[in-house]
C-alpha cells in the first residue's frame, strides 16, 4: 500500500477509531476534527499512539499511517486488518463452494460470474420482500436494487473458493439499552430476513415439509425461493455453504439468530413447492385492455356470422398497471371478430373492457363488456 493512500479500502476514520477503542485503546479529542488514539501499556514510557483527522484533506494520509501502525502491532496484513475494521459497519454473508470445484485456488470464471449475478438478484429479491412485506411481488422495487448495488462483494479466501458479501448497516452512535427498541438499519432487516428464511429452508429440507417455509412469515417469499432455485440450478455446483456474521454494532431483534446454512440440489423440490404455495395469482378485477392484436384464432369460418357458432378468440398485447407487457386472451362475437380481423390487417389497436384475471401464466378478459377499434 502506498504510504499515503488508504482510499482503496473505503474506510471512514470513525470506523478505525471504533475498532481501536473496542480493543482497549484510549481516545482523546484534541480538536473538533482531530483524535489522538493511544494504547496504554504498563511500564511503557511512550505509548503507541495514532492521530486521526476527520478532515477530508488529510484523511487518507492519516488512515494509511494508522493502518500500517496497527497492522504491525497486531501482526496482520493491511488487507486483513481493513476487512476486520470494515466489518464493524456491515453484516457479512460468507459462502463457500466445495473443494472439488477449486483448481489452484481458483474456479471457472463461469461459476464465479453466475454466482455474483444470482446473489445480486437474491439480495434484491430479499430487499423487495422486506419492503413490501408480502409473500409474492410482481417486480423489484427500485430501492431494493439500489440496496443490492450498495452491497460489497469481498475477496475470495484461499484453500477453498468463497465470497464475502458485505451488507452495509453503518455505526450505531445512539446509546443501546436492553428492552428498548432501536431504529434498525434497512440492511440489517434484510439480512435478518435471509437468516430466518434460510433457517426455515434447512428445517423444511430436513423434514421434507415445504409448509415450514410457508409458515415463516418473516422469511422467504416466492421470489426469494425462485432466486435460490436459480442459484442452485444455474451455477451447477452440488452445494454452497453459507455463514452470516452480524455486526456487533446492532443487537439482533430476535436472539439468537441462526448463522450457518447450506444450499444444495436436494432442496430444489422443497423450494419449488414452497414457491408455488407462496405465489398468489391476481384476483379478478375490472380493467381496460388496450393494445395491438398479436394473434387471432377461430375453429370455424370467420366470415359466417349466422350459422357458424365456433369459438373466436384474439390475443392482445397489453401493458398493465404494473408496467408489465402481458398477452390477454379475449373471446369475441362473430361480428367483433371480423372487426378485429380488419384492425389486425391495418395495424390498428383495440380497446376492450371487462373482467381481467390471471390463471397460472395466462391472462384472460372474461366476461367482456365492450370492444372497439382505435384507429
pLDDT confidence band for 279 (50 / 70 / 90): confident
CATH number, span 285-374: 2.40.50.140
Phi, psi of 231 (to 5 degrees): -60, -50
Q: What is the pLDDT of residues 116-135, one digit of tens each?
A: 899 999 999 999 999 999 89
Residue 67 · residue 56 · CB < 8 Å: no
Residue 27 · residue 39 · CB < 8 Å: no
Most confident of 48-52, 125-129, 359-363: 125-129
Residue 248 · residue 213 · CB < 8 Å: no
Measure CA 254 to chain center. 21
Instruction: Give the H or E element holding residue 239.
Output: strand 239-245
Question: Which pLDDT belongs to residue 111?
Answer: 76
Residue 175 vs residue 340, higher pLDDT: 340
Most confident of 110-114, 174-178, 193-197: 193-197
Q: Lowest-confidence range among 25-34, 56-65, 147-156?
A: 56-65
DSSP state for residue 222 in the 8-state scheme? H
pLDDT > 70? residue 4: no
- List the chain domain ranges: 7-75, 91-172+183-278, 285-374
Residue 289 · residue 330 · CB < 8 Å: yes
Q: Please tell me the distance from the alpha carbon of residue 77 to that of residue 80, in angstroms, as a whole number.
A: 5
Amino acid at each position: 500500500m502506498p504510504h499515503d493512500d488508504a482510499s482503496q479500502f473505503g474506510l471512514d476514520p470513525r470506523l478505525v477509531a471504533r475498532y481501536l477503542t473496542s480493543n482497549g485503546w484510549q481516545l482523546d479529542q484534541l480538536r473538533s476534527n482531530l483524535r489522538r488514539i493511544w494504547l496504554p501499556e504498563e511500564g511503557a514510557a511512550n505509548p503507541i499512539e495514532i492521530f486521526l483527522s476527520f478532515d477530508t484533506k488529510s484523511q487518507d494520509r492519516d488512515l494509511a499511517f494508522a493502518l500500517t501502525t496497527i497492522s504491525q502491532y497486531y501482526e496482520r496484513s493491511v488487507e486483513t486488518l481493513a476487512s476486520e475494521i470494515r466489518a464493524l459497519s456491515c453484516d457479512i454473508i460468507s459462502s463457500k463452494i466445495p473443494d472439488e470445484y477449486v483448481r489452484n485456488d481458483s474456479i471457472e470464471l463461469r461459476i464465479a460470474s453466475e454466482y455474483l449475478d444470482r446473489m445480486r438478484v437474491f439480495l434484491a429479491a430479499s430487499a423487495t420482500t422486506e419492503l413490501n412485506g408480502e409473500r409474492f411481488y410482481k417486480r423489484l422495487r427500485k430501492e431494493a436494487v439500489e440496496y443490492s448495488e450498495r452491497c460489497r462483494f469481498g475477496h475470495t479466501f484461499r484453500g477453498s473458493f468463497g465470497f464475502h458479501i458485505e451488507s452495509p448497516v453503518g455505526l450505531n452512535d445512539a446509546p443501546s439499552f436492553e428492552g428498548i427498541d432501536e431504529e434498525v438499519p434497512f440492511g440489517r432487516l434484510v439480512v435478518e430476513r435471509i437468516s430466518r428464511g434460510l433457517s426455515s429452508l434447512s428445517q423444511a429440507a430436513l423434514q421434507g415439509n415445504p409448509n415450514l417455509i410457508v409458515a415463516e412469515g418473516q422469511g422467504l417469499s416466492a421470489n426469494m425461493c425462485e432466486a435460490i432455485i436459480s442459484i442452485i440450478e444455474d451455477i451447477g455446483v452440488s452445494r454452497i455453504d453459507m455463514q452470516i456474521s452480524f455486526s456487533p454494532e446492532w443487537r439482533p431483534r430476535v436472539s439468537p439468530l441462526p448463522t450457518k446454512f447450506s444450499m444444495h440440489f436436494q432442496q430444489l423440490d422443497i423450494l419449488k413447492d414452497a414457491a408455488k404455495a407462496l405465489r398468489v395469482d391476481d384476483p379478478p378485477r375490472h380493467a381496460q385492455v388496450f393494445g395491438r392484436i398479436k394473434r387471432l384464432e377461430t375453429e370455424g369460418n370467420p366470415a359466417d356470422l349466422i350459422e357458424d357458432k365456433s369459438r373466436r378468440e384474439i390475443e392482445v398485447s397489453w401493458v398493465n398497471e404494473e408496467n408489465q407487457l402481458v398477452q390477454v386472451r379475449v373471446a369475441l362475437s362473430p361480428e367483433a371478430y371480423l372487426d378485429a380481423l380488419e384492425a389486425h390487417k391495418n395495424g390498428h389497436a383495440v380497446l376492450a373492457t371487462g373482467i381481467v384475471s390471471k390463471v397460472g401464466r395466462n391472462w384472460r378478459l372474461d366476461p367482456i363488456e365492450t370492444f372497439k377499434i382505435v384507429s
